Structure 1
Amino acid sequence: MRNETAASLCCAASSLTCGFLLFKISGLKTACRNGWNLINGRCFKYVPSRMTWAKAERNCISMGGNLASVHSSEDYYDIQSLIRRVTHELKETWIGGSDAAEEGNWSWSDGTLMTFTNWCPGEPNNAGRGQHCMQMNHSGEKCWDDYGCTVKQPSVCVSKN
């Protein structure tokens, strides 16, 4: 259904029903499942359990999501705020970036395009030729770092619903 058609249908509906219908059609999200937090139209969940990157990704998938993709500085700061709210600090945390499939070609595990980056200076550096997974809140600058995927640390998941 096109938005114009939906808008014309709203003329006959109550304003509350109309608002809900237009919101549903536009795809914008207003709420998340219990334990998830709405950030810029997507639902995020901080997972404090320390896991490897692969296990953290499987855990996110089991909850209907993926490790978090970050598409803007606003997303990044809002995810940091979520972590700070839960932990009272900015811990290094897994997010969904990886170049395991092809060295130097970073992609998000949820399949979205990586159009925004927030790498720390000198990163990604693939130190020791074994850093293929992305962590956030690295160093004093609290930016992104490529890191060894077998290290166990907390994670952030994202879900569209």
Structure 2
Amino acid sequence: MSVAMINKSEEAEGDTWNEIGTEERFKYGWRSQCPVWWIRAAAVCLGLLLLIVIFGLVAHNASAIGQQDSLLDHLMKCEKLIHNLTTDNYALRDELNQMKVNSSRLTKEMEELQREYKTVRRSALVNDEEYTTLNSSSACKVCQRGWIKFNNKCYYASEKGQAKNWEDSRKDCLKRGVDLVMPTTKEELDFVARIYEKTWIGLSDKKHEGTWLWVDGSRLVTGFWQTGEPNNAGDEDCAEFINGKWNDALCSLTVPWICED
């Protein structure tokens, strides 16, 4: 219905209303006008309600779109995280495989080293047995490195310039598993003289004055003393070797020493 037709209808109704008397207006007027006003109010309310519904739908759609974007963003982050975890898992698996390979290689190397050790150990035991056999043989005695062999005996001479008293010299020999030299033959005296002109020998009368004992506990039978010795001048209880002969001297003197095995 157009606006013009509505206006004409309202004008016609207005003329008709004017032609009706006062009593008739009072009787019929309010009842005739009431439907028109109510329809207009209802139309306005419906329009407002429709606008509210439209705005609500728009707002709801906008919120839904925003939530959808947020969910999509969260989903992309989750996918990226899953990708990174998968990549890390592959890297860890490769590293684990490499560690297994290295462990296997190290195990083989350890087994090889153990076999080599056993071989070397067996060889060392054989050498020890040979050394013991040779050492125990009266025909062929093997001396330690740095020692001097003479008449199937081994001798250790203190380094040049070193000197100790009789007790300390003997302690040094004992630490080496031997004792001070005990030259009892002319041949051995000549050998000692070639090493040192003056040195301690394993002979003393410290336990009983005048009773000379070798360091192995045996008693002296034949001596090679210098003329007039031993004279015990000043409590001389230890024997030293000087130019092929023996001399009793103070045990506190410091001279070189020779050990005998």
TM score, norm. by length of structure 1: 0.71
Partner of 2:177: 64
2:239 pairs with 1:137: no
1:146 has 2:248 as partner: yes
Which one has the largest radius of gyration? 2
Counterpart Cα distance in 2 of 1:123 and 1:151: 17
**In structure 1, what residue type is equivalent to 2:165?**
T
Corresponding position: 1:155 with 2:257: yes
Q: Does the residue aligned with 1:38 lie in a helix, a strand or coil?
A: strand
Aligned residues: 128
In 2: Cα distance, 1:134 partner to 1:33 partner: 27
Report the Cα distance in structure 2 between the residues aligned to 1:151 and 1:54, rounded to whole angstroms. 10
The whole-number CA distance in structure 1 between the counterparts of 2:204 and 2:151 is 23
Q: Is the 8 A contact 1:99 1:132 kept in 2?
A: yes
**Structure 1 residue aligned with 2:87:** none
SS in 1 for 2:256: strand
Structure 1 unaligned spans of 5+: 1-21, 84-89
> Aligned partners of 1:118, 1:144: CA distance in 2, in Å?
6
Equivalent residue number for residue 44 of structure 1: 155
Matches within 5 A, 1:12-161: 27-48=138-159, 49-83=162-196, 90=197, 92-128=198-234, 130-137=235-242, 142-159=244-261
**Is the Cα contact below 8 Å between 1:134 and 1:144 reproduced in 2?**
yes
Give the drift of 1:31: 2.4
Q: Secondary structure at the match of 1:78?
A: helix
Rate the CA distance shift 1:110–1:101 in 2: closer, same or farther, 3 A. Answer: same
Check the 8 A contact 2:166/2:251 in 1, yes or no: yes
> Any idea what SS the aligned residue of 2:217 has?
coil
Instruction: Say which SS state the counterpart of residue 157 (structure 1) adopts.
Output: strand
Question: Structure 2: 5+ residue runs without aligned partners?
Answer: 1-132
Structure (1 or 2) with the greater strand fraction = 1
**Displaced runs of 4+ in structure 1, greater than 6 A?**
22-25
Deviation of 1:145 after TM superposition, in Å, equals: 0.3
Aligned sequence identity (%): 29
1: CA distance between counterparts of 2:136 and 2:177? Answer: 22
